[in-house]
Structure 1
Amino acid sequence: YVNTSAAVKAESDIGCTSANAVKVVNALHENEIIFVPDRNLALYVADHTEKKIIPWNGYCPTHHLILPGDILLEKEEHPEAQVLVHPECRPEVVVLADKVLSTAGMLKYAAQSDGREFIIGTELGLLHRLRKENPQKKFYPATAYAVCPNMKMNTLGSIIRALEKNEHVIKVPENIRSRAKLTLDRMLEAGRGD
């Protein structure tokens, strides 16, 4: 999965994103795939392929906070709203969704949909962008608790400081960088034709 470290990518045969995971897996010649690190995304992919998926027992803590009861409660309060959830959500949340989409997929779908109300099952920060890009539509969080502390570490101020001072250089050893790049190159090749 693309959100893993360079070291994990270096040990992997191919990478994927939440948007292209099913396509990448279906493009592989192998019939058994060990899918790391997100169990929920692996289970979603397993439902959309003939291949045997062996899920790693990890998960996104933020998406894991979204519970079926959250979706049911929001649906009760907003019965006309479509439920859009990320494939990293628990399987019991995914089955309650009208659409299962990556964050980019949610942005595109919300903009193109005739729907006027949406319950969003992903990191809370996406709602700001959805509301900004679609002011005529209503967006409700599946839960107020789906906040990723890692994503919130990046602020406009910290990005400006990093660019101005160039102090925090990330160095990846060449043997890891080159192998990780192969993983990403294979992912891009598998995704060609879109």
Structure 2
Amino acid sequence: MTTLIKERAKSLNTFSKTNLAEEILRLKKEKNAIILAHYYQEPAIQEIADFVGDSLGLSQQAASTDADIIVFAGVHFMAETAKIINPKKRVLLPDLNASCSLAESCPPDLFREFIDKHPGHTVITYVNCSAEIKAMSDIVCTSSNAEKVVASVPLGTPIIFAPDKNLGAYIMHKTGREMLLWDGVCIVHEAFAIDKILKLHQKYPQAQFIAHPESNPEILKIASYIGSTTGMINHVKTDSGKEFIVATEAGILYKMQQEVPEKVLIPAPAKEDNTCACSECAFMKMNTMEKLYLCLKNETPEIHVSDEIREKAIIPIERMLNLS
């Protein structure tokens, strides 16, 4: 057993004796660190975070922070984006293996071939992709601003949209713009079962069905509201309905329920049976309070992006932020 492993084992043994939240707060203050967490993180991490949000909100927070260290409780592409925006700051990710099925569906070498086969296209990439893919892009978008980003491209200009084909198809429908779509999907949003959703609606006939645009077209066809994670939270806050069936990663329900404690929120069921009867992102759930503590304590794992990639990737990201 190496010295590092022994040290980490010793730290883990103290978790039962130490209030993790207090230790994390102490380390955060001591090191002038900020914790950014996505809505899909476990509740304890959302509670300890300085800011909880969707990809757009987190990118905006990363761009405006004066902290020396950014701890990103999310997945790898999110931490990479924060590093691209803040090259001189240390960006940490509690678990370096917290990847993204959508980002993995778009390998840089194959995407480069795809772009080369379709010259003259404006390349719009969803933020759920690697730094290398962003570096090949003209502008980045999130589910919150994808419609606005696509509308910013002059009419008559052909568009490549990657990597999420479901989001791309939805934006095509909303804007009336034809786009060449990369064949990528999010396994979390692909997992919803329409037959189970319809059966669940029979049990809750008054419930509105709301969905994230990364979901399959057949799922979106039956939704009464389609929007980003932040959009869905705002919808349940402002809508007069009292019951909602929610089709996105189940972690959103924690923040959503805090906003509307009087309303009934039901996770949309997944195709496969599991303990939560919902759709969860295994990558998002790789981050834990213990890993967050060790990450701050040891200042590792740290995210690195080469200068060559960063200098190219920052351009489409800044274009998105300026539009937003």
Do the two structures share a fold, i.e. TM-score over 0.5? yes
Residue 48 of structure 1 aligns to a residue whose secondary structure is helix
Gaps of 5+ in 2: 1-125, 270-276
CA distance in 2, matches of 1:41, 1:68: 18
Q: CA deviation at 1:20?
A: 0.6
CA distance in 1, matches of 2:284, 2:196: 22
Aligned to 2:121: none
Structure 1's consecutive aligned runs of 4 or more residues displaced over 4 angstroms after TM superposition are none
Q: 1:20 aligns with which of 129, 145, 152?
A: 145
1:104-129 superposed Cα distances (whole Å, 9 cap, x missing partner): 11111111221110000000111122
Residue 179 of structure 2 aligns to a residue whose secondary structure is strand
Q: How do 1:25-104 residues align onto structure 2 when only pairs under 5 Å count?
A: 25-29=150-154, 31-104=157-230
Q: TM-score, normalised by structure 1?
A: 0.94
Q: Which moved more, 1:19-28 or 1:151-160?
A: 151-160
1:38-81 superposed Cα distances (whole Å, 9 cap, x missing partner): 01001101101132111111100000001321321221111101
Q: CA deviation at 1:152?
A: 0.3
CA distance in 2, matches of 1:94, 1:7: 30
Q: Which moved more, 1:35-44 or 1:161-170?
A: 161-170
Please tell me the residue identity of whatever aligns with 1:137.
K
Tell me if the contact between 1:67 and 1:90 (Cα under 8 Å) persists in the aligned partners. Answer: no
Using CA pairs below 8 Å that are at least 6 residues apart, which structure has the higher relative contact order?
Answer: 1
Tell me if the contact between 2:242 and 2:264 (Cα under 8 Å) persists in the aligned partners. Answer: yes
Please tell me the residue identity of whatever aligns with 2:251.
G
Gaps of 5+ in 1: none
Aligned to 1:128: 254
Q: Percent identity?
A: 39
CA distance in 2, matches of 1:80, 1:91: 23
Taking only aligned residues, the RMSD between alpha carbons, in angstroms, comes to 1.2
Q: Which moved more, 1:93-102 or 1:103-112?
A: 103-112
